[in-house]
Structure 1
Amino acid sequence: MHRVLFCIGINQNFMNAPVEEGKQVWQAFSQMMQGIDQLPGVIILGIMDDDRIMVGPSATAPWTAYIMADVPDYESVVAACNFFRTTPVGDGTYKLWKYARVEARIGRELVVPE
């Protein structure tokens, strides 16, 4: 198992989107998170969103949202990131990666010594 932190940044396209388009992005975002959760062997440990204290797009750290998960292998990490490339927004003209970006950090569980 790998401990993975998916760092998600919202970009300017989302900030510029009209209200209806923003709702469609949120629906796509929900589909993406469900897709990650349904990958075989993936265990989501937690999701954090700091959109209330961060205003505007996040091009680098600090990111807008984070998903921490235990993931069985590298291919599953790639599959999770690929949801940003493949999840349609609205009629499917655009995919989620027009509005958000992701970077994965892969490590291991750190156990506090006794």
Structure 2
Amino acid sequence: MPRRTFLISTFYLSATLLLIMTCWRNAPTIATLVLFSLFSVTLSSSLVLENPYPAELFETALRGSGVGMCIAISRIGAAAGTFLLPIITTNYGIVGTLGICTIVLIVGGVICQLWAPETSPKFINRK
């Protein structure tokens, strides 16, 4: 599977699964468990691209700085999410928090769909 396609699909699949869990509030326990497990596996599988993709985005002279910037931005986002999660949950409840997380995933998917380049050598030369 091309790296760009894999990246975009993990955003949209995660958002879809989270949206189903958000809207289906009275789901049977087993359905919730299956949906959450699929969501968790999808998020975990997206981490496969965490190492190779940023390094492939930058030319050799900028690679160290580019990867460092990607890591720094991701840590700022993680810290903000960790700080904001209890505040959002307190103010908007679990459903509101899941809705916001769904929106963030959809926005991430759209941004990747618009601007993420294909970096897999196997698929770059195919047109």
TM-score grouping bracket, smaller chain normalisation: 0.3 to 0.5
TM-score, with structure 2 as normaliser: 0.34
Richer in strand (by share): 1
TM-score, with structure 1 as normaliser: 0.37
Kindly name which structure, 1 or 2, has the bigger radius of gyration based on alpha carbons. Answer: 2
Richer in helix (by share): 2
